[in-house]
């Protein structure tokens, strides 16, 4: 049996934003191993909503990080669509414009939210709490 901390285990993380700099900040903040109890992260960068849906339909995504400020399709609406249309979704984290937008993250049925600007420690802690073995 392979342990979750084995270097052979990878978790695919979908990072969606129309902004390449936002995707880069997310991936830099998390790195490939944000916590020793988590598997190595492998990032799939996506810039458009239709490609997000393709990847999610295909399966194999262990965490989706969606930018609520993305245009033309925001990550909040996309999170809601994924929850409404797919039978099984991985944990979904949305990046929100400000902390007061948490209610929108709740409406979207996201598992967690982190406000812009991205705080690397907060993002890492949130992802760790979503993925930590139970």
13-71 confidence digits (pLDDT tens): 999 999 999 999 999 999 999 999 899 999 999 999 999 999 999 999 999 999 999 99
The CATH code belonging to domain 10-129 is 3.40.50.2300
Q: What pTM value is reported for the model? A: 0.93
Predicted local confidence at residue 37, as pLDDT: 87
Task: Give residue-wise pLDDT tens across range 91-115.
Answer: 999 999 998 999 999 999 999 999 9
What is the CB-side half-sphere exposure of residue 10 using CA atoms within 13 A?
A: 12
Predicted local confidence at residue 3, as pLDDT: 39
Question: Could you tell me how far CA 84 lies from the centroid of its own chain?
Answer: 17
Question: Could you tell me how far CA 42 lies from the centroid of its own chain?
Answer: 12
12 forms beta bridges with 42
């Amino acid at each position: 049996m392979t342990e979750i901390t084995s270097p052979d285990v990878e978790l695919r993380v979908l990072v969606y934003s129309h902004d390449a700099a936002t995707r880069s900040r997310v991936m830099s903040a998390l790195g490939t191993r944000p916590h020793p109890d988590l598997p190595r992260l492998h990032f799939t960068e996506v810039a458009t909503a239709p490609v997000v849906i393709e990847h999610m339909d295909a399966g194999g995504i262990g965490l989706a990080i969606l930018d609520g400020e993305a245009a033309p399709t925001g990550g909040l609406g996309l999170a809601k669509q994924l929850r409404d249309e797919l039978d099984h979704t991985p944990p979904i984290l949305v990046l929100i414009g400000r902390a007061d937008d948490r209610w929108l993250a709740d409406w979207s049925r996201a598992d967690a939210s982190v406000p812009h600007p991205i705080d690397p420690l907060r993002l890492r802690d949130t992802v760790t709490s979503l993925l930590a073995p139970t």
